[in-house]
Structures are given as structure tokens and as C-alpha cells.
Structure 1
Amino acid sequence: MFEFSKNVDPDNNFKFWETGIFHYGVQDPDIEGLVQKIIAHGGKQRMPIKEYYPGKKPYKMVYMEDPFGNLVEIYTHSYDLTYSAGEY
């Protein structure tokens, strides 16, 4: 979790440099399902789901906003696997 010392409640246009908690991250292999659950419970999708290695590896990520305005970073696989140069 990240938090900036001089923060205010965000308005509808998220300004990460002005909030308390910047974001938190989770890992879920069913990223599409989790996106739909977050939206169904009042959250927002902040970007399209990114595929890191289309046709080669099933690694994806997306930024969401939870119902409380916190940014959520979601990955299908661990950070080290997603960004490593090895063949996994």
C-alpha cells in the first residue's frame, strides 16, 4: 500500500497524488470475473485489461477503483512472473 502525506478525498477524476492510500494490488487468475464483481458492487474500471504477451503467455493486469475510491491493481500472475525475462 502507498500513502501520500498531504492528501485529500478524490473527486470523480482520480488524482493519485492527492489521495491517502494510492493503491493496493491483488492477484486473481479470473481477472475478468473480478472486474465484473467490482463493477457490480459499485467500483469502476479505470483502464482496459492489458495483455502482456498476447498469444504467448496468459498474463494480464488492470487498474480498478473500489467502491470507496481506492485504486486496485489486479494481476492474473505474480509480479515477478509477469515482468521476468524467463520462459515460464
Structure 2
Amino acid sequence: MTSSTTPRTFSHIGLSVPDLDAAVAFYRDVMGFYVIMEPTEIAQDDSDIGVMCDDVFGPGWGRFRIAHLSTADRIGFELFEFPKNHTPENNLPYRQVGLFHFAIQDPDLEGLLAKILAAGGKQRMPVREYFPGQKPYRMVYVEDPFGIVFELYSHSYELTYSAGAYN
């Protein structure tokens, strides 16, 4: 008998940003995300959230600010601003184990790219087609104004890769 695991749904991603208010504005106004919890300060104390943060961050974390946003398809974006945060020297640590990018889908990839650039973001590569002249699937790597790297896709992940994008 073969056991099969049902795929899970994706809930949220947490990003550490240098300026929470500016990041909320970018992800709300440029990316179109919904703000579901305005920026809030969390302090190390005996509250439920304080104790939970002790479990996650260990002793001495002190305080941080957090906001919660959501994409149109209900994926959460948790934005954190920690005191004494710093930008890494390499903002695309692709050889480091762990997260190095996420992807956002928009059929008007070039329009969203223009908004990102106008808001202070960066384009890391030219817009590329997966099937030039055959299918309109496009992608590009970008950075938000804070140096967080992500991808833009014109079509769904399933459509893009089910067609054998690397052939």
C-alpha cells in the first residue's frame, strides 16, 4: 500500500525590513497587498505574544515592530522591524541554505516592474520569456526598496512549469 501526502496550503512569509512604515506603504501601494494589521510594537514581557517570542528569538530580544498584510490570494506577509537591524552584504545568498527569494504573479508584469522601479526598487535582470514566440510566460528578478529580492511571474507557477519550462 502506498501512502500519499496531501499538499498543504501556504500561509505566510515573514520579512525583516529596515523601516516598517515605508515597507507597509510599498507593499500596500505598489504591490497592492491588503493591510490586515497596522504596525504594532511588541515588547518582551509575560504576555502570550511576549512568551511566544521568547520561544522563537531566545532571551533578550527586547522589542520589535510588526505589521500583517495579505495578497489577493490570501497569502500573508508579516513584516518585522527589529532594532539594530542591518542589511546583509549579499542580498541574494543563493548558496546559503534557507530562503533566498519568493515570487509574485501579475499578468501585467512590465507594469508592476515599472511601479517597483518608480518606488525605488531595482531590476536584477532583463524580463525573460520561458517559451519565446510560443507562450507569453515571462519572469524577472527584482528588489524592493529595502534590498529584498523577489521574482515577478506573468503566469501561474503551475502553468509555467507544467509545460516543461527548461526544455
TM-score normalised by the chain length of structure 2:
0.42
1:52-63 → structure 2 map (5 Å cutoff): 52-63=130-141
1:1-88 → structure 2 map (5 Å cutoff): 1=13, 9-11=87-89, 14-17=91-94, 22-85=100-163
Identical aligned residues as a percent: 60
Stretches of structure 2 lacking an aligned partner (at least 5 in a row): 1-12, 16-85
Displaced runs of 4 or more, over 4 A: none
Q: Which has the higher contact order (CA 8 A, sep 6+)?
A: 1
Question: Cα deviation per residue 1:27-85 (whole Å; 9 max; x = unaligned)?
Answer: 00011111110000000000100101111110000000000110011100011111113
Stretches of structure 1 lacking an aligned partner (at least 5 in a row): none
State the shift of 1:10 in Å. Answer: 2.6
For the residue of structure 1 that corresponds to 2:152, the secondary structure is strand
> Do the aligned residues in 2 keep the contact of 1:2 with 1:22 (CA within 8 Å)?
no
Query: Aligned letter for 2:116?
Result: I
**Does the C-alpha gap of structure 1 residues 52 and 28 become closer, same or farther in structure 2, counting only changes over 3 Å?**
same
> Which of structures 1 and 2 has the bigger CA Rg?
2
**Does the C-alpha gap of structure 1 residues 59 and 2 become closer, same or farther in structure 2, counting only changes over 3 Å?**
farther
State the shift of 1:2 in Å. Answer: 8.7
**Does the C-alpha gap of structure 1 residues 2 and 68 become closer, same or farther in structure 2, counting only changes over 3 Å?**
same
Q: Distance in 1 between matches of 2:105 and 2:138?
A: 10
State the shift of 1:25 in Å. Answer: 1.1
Q: Distance in 2 between matches of 1:21 and 1:70?
A: 11
TM-score normalised by the chain length of structure 1:
0.75
